[in-house]
Amino acid sequence: MELLIQAIPAWAHIFFAIVMVGGAAGGAYLNAGGISPLARGGVIGAIVTLLTSGIVQMFTVMPGAPKGWHMWFGIKFLLALHVFAMMFLLTKADATDAKRKRWHFSLLTGVALVVAIGSYLGRLRGA
Ligand code: HEM
Taking the domains of the chain in order of start, what are their residue ranges? 2-124
Q: What is the model's pLDDT at position 106?
A: 96
Q: What is the model's pLDDT at position 34?
A: 74
Average pLDDT over residues 79-83: 97
Percentage of the chain surpassing pLDDT 70?
Answer: 98
Measured in Å, residue 30 CA sits from the centre of ligand 1 at 25
- Measured from the Cα of 122, ligand 1's closest atom is 40
Q: What is the model's pLDDT at position 124?
A: 95
Does residue 26 have a pLDDT over 90?
no
- Measured from the Cα of 17, ligand 1's closest atom is 5
DSSP helix/strand/coil, 126:
coil
DSSP helix/strand/coil, 35:
coil
Average pLDDT over residues 7-13: 94
Q: What is the model's pLDDT at position 1?
A: 77
pTM of the predicted model, to two decimals?
0.92
Do residues 56 and 9 touch, judged by C-beta distance below 8 A?
yes
Measured in Å, residue 35 CA sits from the centre of ligand 1 at 22
